[in-house]
Amino acid sequence: MSAQDRPQPWRDADVHIPATGYVPQYTPPAWYQQRPQDAEPPIPWHSVAPQPVEPGCHVCGARPVAHAEIRAHTGLLFFGWSSSIGEPLCRQCGISLVRTMTTQTLCRGWWGLLSLLFHTPVALGENAAAYRKYRALPPPTPVPGRRPLHPGKPVLRRPLAYVALVPLVWAIVLISSIALR
């Protein structure tokens, strides 16, 4: 049996056969062609751009999120350093990180002259603005398998926040001793 005598299934299918010049034509089904008079024509699949997906919370993946800069500052006698988080966060994770980093700043941020005058007040102000931004968000929609951060106690109920009173008392004593001389 020669190659021409064997059955060739592609000859029976609707395919382009160069020797014959046959080109298959596609006719859409009737249900696709019938549409209401006021409907717009269907959009071809290749012309629809994918919609951008809003990123979820950096910690737990929940939505909606807000973008705010949360700062913590540690001041030392002659220098200091700051850390910040600027990722998108949901309400619960954002409030938790604001509380944690504000408490760290209140505890460790006042121990240098430049930190006392500039860096710590700026960090506390930015954290207050971030807190207001996260509080304005609705409760997050959780993502299965991921848990948000626990918000913990408010800042004024954490003992480390009151370490900030030490430099304040020191400044009052210093100013009053200078004033009494």
User: Mean pLDDT throughout 71-76?
Assistant: 94
pTM (two decimals): 0.67
* pLDDT-derived band at 14, boundaries 50, 70, 90: low
pLDDT, tens digit (0-9, with 9 covering 90-100), for 105-151: 999 998 888 888 899 999 999 999 999 999 999 999 989 999 999 99
Window from 90-94, 169-173, 175-179 with minimum mean pLDDT: 169-173
Q: What percent of the chain has pLDDT over 70?
A: 76
Q: What was the pLDDT predicted at 78?
A: 84
pLDDT-based confidence at residue 6 (cuts at 50, 70, 90): low
- What are the tens digits of pLDDT across the range 85-110? 999 999 999 999 999 999 999 999 98
- Per-residue confidence band for 55, with pLDDT thresholds at 50, 70 and 90: confident
Contact 99, 152 (CB under 8 A): yes
